[in-house]
Amino acid sequence: MLIDTHAHVNFNAYKNDGQEVIKRALAGNTWLINAGSQFSTSARAVEIAQNYQTGVWAAVGIHPIHLGSERFQTQVDKNEAVKFETRAEKFETEKYQKLIENKKAVAVGECGLDYYHNEKNKKQQKELFIQQIDLAIKNNLPVIVHCRNAHNDVLEILRKKNRKYGKKLRGVIHSFSGRLAQARQYVEELGFCLGFNGIITFARDYDKVLAEIGLENLLMETDCPYLTPEPFRGKRNEPLYVRYVAEKLAEIKNISLVEVEKTTTQNARELFGI
């Protein structure tokens, strides 16, 4: 069994066939957590999860890009770019608290800092991130952290919160994109997990991190509908494809797929309490 710890079947990319996508995942022995990016997608993630007794959960939060209304294009690599629009949204704690009170909500996120798309509102991004960390602590939930070109500031905020809350602060750095030294700081200093997705099947940037960081600190994810792994590049991603991420990790670490499945699934179940 595998767990896709970061999916977005709650996004419009699946509005016509989301149930079928989830059905394929569950039939393929794959569980999933749909992460919210704003209130509407967070509520949708909870709504979807309520339809399943087990195997499907939700995370609720605001992605930092939703502080403003803009159009973005993210370059994954030279062959892939993702276009999307955002709308300005304030973090209303009470609304998210109500979503969290549903037992299908197992994390706060995705939340964090994104200086790749916007460096002009760093202060506001930090404030939003801190609000969501505090909400997670209040509810004894982990955080799913988005970090793009902002590792120093994310580490600084997490260190401060760690000094205040200790082991109550826990979570995952989703789609980890940092260096080995930063990976070690997250894992060894803060006790966080690192999430990896389809990027590792077509880019060699993170082979050293994956080889050096212990399997007990890693989580598998897809970030679907984005970052589709080989051999499906160019097509819409889905939770079932997390298997290709796991296979690549096994290859990089020179261990069996069974070991990757067993350990990363255990990691996810322990972190998210599922």
- The response to whether 6 counts as a known ligand-binding position is yes
Q: Considering the entire predicted model, what is its pTM?
A: 0.94
Number of domains in the chain: 1
- The response to whether 66 counts as a known ligand-binding position is no
Higher pLDDT, 255 or 83: 255
pLDDT of 198 higher than 90? yes
pLDDT of residue 102: 86
pLDDT of 68 higher than 70? no
Q: What is the 3-state secondary structure (H, E, C) of 18-52?
A: HHHHHHHHHHCCEEEEEECCCHHHHHHHHHHHCCC
Confidence of residue 41 (pLDDT cuts 50, 70, 90): very high
User: Within 10 Å of residue 109's Cβ, how many Cβ atoms?
Assistant: 28
pLDDT of residue 118: 78
pLDDT of 79 higher than 60? no
List, in order, residues 6 or more apart from 115 with CB less than 8 Å away: 122, 125, 148, 149, 150, 153
- The response to whether 261 counts as a known ligand-binding position is no
Distance, in Å, from the CA atom of 260 to the CA atom of 2, rounded to the nearest integer, reads 9
Distance, in Å, from the CA atom of 69 to the CA atom of 72, rounded to the nearest integer, reads 10
pLDDT, one tens digit per residue, over 237-246 is 999 999 999 9
CATH code at position 174: 3.20.20.140
Q: Which domain holds residue 10?
A: 2-272
Mean pLDDT to the nearest integer, 194-215 = 98
Distance, in Å, from the CA atom of 186 to the CA atom of 143, rounded to the nearest integer, reads 13
Confidence of residue 85 (pLDDT cuts 50, 70, 90): low
Q: Mean pLDDT in the chain?
A: 94
pLDDT of 175 higher than 90? yes
Share of the chain above pLDDT 90, in %: 88
Higher pLDDT, 110 or 116: 110
- The response to whether 63 counts as a known ligand-binding position is no
Question: What are the C-alpha distances in Å from 221 to residues 5, 174, 210?
Answer: 5, 8, 14
Of 64, 69, 57, whose CA–CA distance to 26 is shortest? 57
- The response to whether 174 counts as a known ligand-binding position is yes
Which helix (H) or strand (E) segment holds residue 136: the answer is: helix 122-138
pLDDT of residue 84: 55
**Are the C-beta atoms of 226 and 237 separated by less than 8 Å?**
yes
Mean pLDDT to the nearest integer, 21-44 = 98
- For the chain, the residue count is 274
Are β-strands 171-173 and 105-114 bridged in parallel, bridged antiparallel, or unpaired?
unpaired
Of 178, 235, 223, 179, whose CA–CA distance to 199 is shortest? 223
pLDDT of residue 69: 54
pLDDT of residue 75: 53
- The response to whether 146 counts as a known ligand-binding position is yes
What are phi and psi for residue 246, nearest 5 degrees? -65, -40
Tell me if residue 139 falls in helix, strand or coil.
coil
